[in-house]
Amino acid sequence: MTTPVCTSASKAAAPVASYSPYAPYSSFSSYVRARGPVLLRTARSLTANPSDAEDLLQTALTKTYVAWDRIEDHRALDGYVRRALLNTRTSQWRKRKVDEFTCEELPERESLPAADPAEQQVLHDAMWRAVLKLPDRQRAMVVLRYYEDLSEAQTAEVLGVSIGTVKSAVSRALGKLREDPELLPVR
Residues 6 or more apart whose CB falls under 8 angstroms from that of 71 comprise 64, 77, 80
Contact 57, 85 (CB under 8 A): yes
Residue 10 scores a pLDDT above 90: no
Q: Is the pLDDT of residue 95 over 50?
A: yes
Indicate yes or no: pTM above 0.85.
no
Q: pLDDT tens digits for 108-157?
A: 777 777 778 888 888 888 888 999 999 999 999 999 998 888 999 999 99
pLDDT (0 to 100) of residue 187 = 56
**What are the tens digits of pLDDT across the range 65-92?**
998 888 888 888 888 899 999 999 888 8
Measured in whole angstroms, how far is the alpha carbon of residue 168 from the centre of its chain? 32
Q: What is the spatial distance between Cα 166 and Cα 153, in angstroms, rounded to a whole number?
A: 8
Q: How confident is the model at residue 14 (pLDDT cuts 50, 70, 90)?
A: very low
